[in-house]
Amino acid sequence: MRVHELGHVVLYVRDLERSRRFYGELLGWREVARFGHQGVMFSSGRTHHELLLLEVGPDAKPIPPGRRVGLYHFGVKIGDSDEELREAIGQLRAAGVPIGGMADHTVTHSVYVLDPDGNEVELYIDVQPPVWNDHPEAITAPVKPLRL
């Protein structure tokens, strides 16, 4: 067996409409299917769906803070240039979404935000030219502060 690619991520959310607006309207995922008031699927166009949100209601337990087992964050490529990343930061700030962190990973430039339920999302651009093609060890380079 060999994994070919990561297919999709499924997230439980408290309020489907609130999360639909965050992922669809703010982050720009294209909505491709709905399951009534229970769920919504999104795609970037790469495959049938890459993100599925399932509503579990307002009484669902929050993600525990601190060290824990489970999802830390997932990354979403939003472009290939720092200008695209700067534009995204402006859109996030205009929408009142706090930036949790920014990092220069040598191979990517990344901005970290929390979705409405506290799931961390890394929004990144691939640094051009793609350093990791010729220097695979670059993916383990020390993290540096991001200077845009």
Same-domain pairing of 53 and 77: no
Q: Which domain holds residue 112?
A: 73-148
Whether residue 145 is contained in a domain is answered as: yes
pTM: 0.95
Same-domain pairing of 127 and 97: yes
8: confidence class by pLDDT, cuts 50, 70, 90: very high
pLDDT at 132 over 90: no
Same-domain pairing of 109 and 49: no
Whether residue 118 is contained in a domain is answered as: yes
Same-domain pairing of 44 and 78: no
pLDDT at 58 over 90: yes
Longest distance between any two alpha carbons in the chain, whole Å = 49
Whether residue 65 is contained in a domain is answered as: no
